[in-house]
Amino acid sequence: MDKKKYEFAYEVYDDIHQLKNEDAHLLKEARLVTANAYAPYSNFHVAAVALLEDGQIVPGTNQENASYPVGTCAERVLLGILAALHPNVPIKSMAISYNSTEIKSDHPISPCGMCRQALLEYEARVNHPIRLILGGMEGKVIVIDTAKQLLPFAFTSNELK
């Protein structure tokens, strides 16, 4: 038997003011765009905002539904928009933020498992890592070099060949 260990490095900042200007701008956009989320059931408004390699900034928000399985996370809404309107344009960075009337938005959140899989697939599709900037409306910010780091042992197209 072999025992192995998976770990990865990421950056933790005390607040948005410690970020590079480009990253701070993207996170500020994500914070603003949370207001556009449709979350009448959870009151958990999430925004994902992408900075594309060509310099464009594109937002997405979570979209809930009374039939819960029909709702879609902000990250997957954004990836769908990008696939339709900006096909094959790599994402340089993606900022993800949230706001809620129920809890304090003072720490980073990470994409759910389904979104991690979708992010990984998009990285493979355009052959480019997606750098993630994760933060709430205030507080610490986490920066991860590639979404792939969030999903070890991922199911990929290699398993279908």
| pLDDT at site 157 | 87
Catalytic residue (one of 64, 75, 121, 123):
75
What is the rounded distance in angstroms from the CA atom of residue 62 to the CA atom of residue 20? 26
Q: Which of 113, 131, 155 is nearest to 52 (CA)?
A: 131
- The residue assigned the tokens 């993207």 is 26
* Beta-sheet pairing, 57-61 with 44-52: antiparallel
Q: Which residue has the higher pLDDT, 114 or 159?
A: 114
Does the pLDDT at position 52 exceed 90? Answer: yes
Q: Cβ neighbours of residue 101 under 8 Å, at least 6 residues apart? A: 43
Confidence at 146, pLDDT banded by 50, 70, 90: very high
Mean pLDDT of 121-136: 97
pLDDT at 66: 96
In the three-class reduction of DSSP (H, G, I as helix; E, B as strand; rest coil), residue 78 is classed as helix
The mean pLDDT of the chain is: 96
pLDDT greater than 90 at residue 161: no
Q: Kindly tell me if the per-residue pLDDT of 158 is higher than 90.
A: no
3-state secondary structure of 28: helix
Q: What are phi and psi of 112, to 5 degrees?
A: -70, 170
User: Which pLDDT belongs to residue 94?
Assistant: 98
CA distance 56 to 89: 10
pLDDT in tens, 82-91: 999 999 999 9
Known active-site residue 75: yes
Domains and CATH numbers, the chain: 11-150 (3.40.140.10)
Give the pLDDT confidence score for residue 149 in this predicted structure: 97
* Segment 125-146 mean pLDDT: 98
Mean pLDDT of 29-36: 98
